[in-house]
Amino acid sequence: MLELSWNRVGFGAELAVVNADRGLRAIGWTLGAAPEPYSCRYTLATDDRWATTSLEILTEGAGWSRSLRLTRQTGRDPWKVRASETGTLAGPPAGAEYPETFADALDVDIEFSPLTNTLPIRRLDLLKQPVGSEFELNVVFVELPSLAVIANSQRYAAAGDGQVGFRSGDYRVQIAVDPDGYVVDYPGLATRADR
């Protein structure tokens, strides 16, 4: 078992308890302040090749809560999406309006979560790829705190010396990772606190 923690730029934090013996099993908690204060807890699992098989996530704030469950048996099965919500939170509803748009996605990306960047880094063995190797991915993107789910196109590139290039649309950043692929510094987002 490994405990990882990050401090977010501005206000927020993430703590994850991780077992990475055969794929990943993680339990995590996050705190955020935008668009309003919220707490989040999740359980995340992958297969032994680091393709996501399940995510259960709950967000709560003053007078509202939302939950989401994403599951699939293998990388070829369709994603099953279940969502619920109580109270009022401005923004899109929890869940996915068009799950077919991420049917081919192998990775889940929880907004503001450095841990979920590790999934494609490990699955693609990015730290052992030649510098400049780049991979375009369709990922299941979970917005916080709404738990709205959309497809998101992302690019990961091997940059050498514990660095990984990340791009989504016009957004680009160099992410520093440890030898196991866990984020150490994600400029503008978070820095590891447990190191």
Residue that the structure tokens 């309003």 belong to = 36
Note the pLDDT tens digit of each residue in 41-100: 999 999 999 999 999 999 999 999 999 999 998 767 889 999 999 999 999 999 999 999
Residue 59 · residue 66 · CB < 8 Å: yes
Q: With H, G, I as helix, E, B as strand and everything else as coil, classify residue 120.
A: helix
pLDDT above 80: residue 195: no
Domain that holds residue 140: 2-192
pTM, whole model, 2 decimals?
0.96
Query: Nearest to residue 122, comparing CAs of 47, 50, 17?
Result: 50
Total tally of structural domains belonging to the chain? 1
Residue 70 to residue 53: CA distance in whole angstroms: 8
Residue 148 · residue 93 · CB < 8 Å: yes
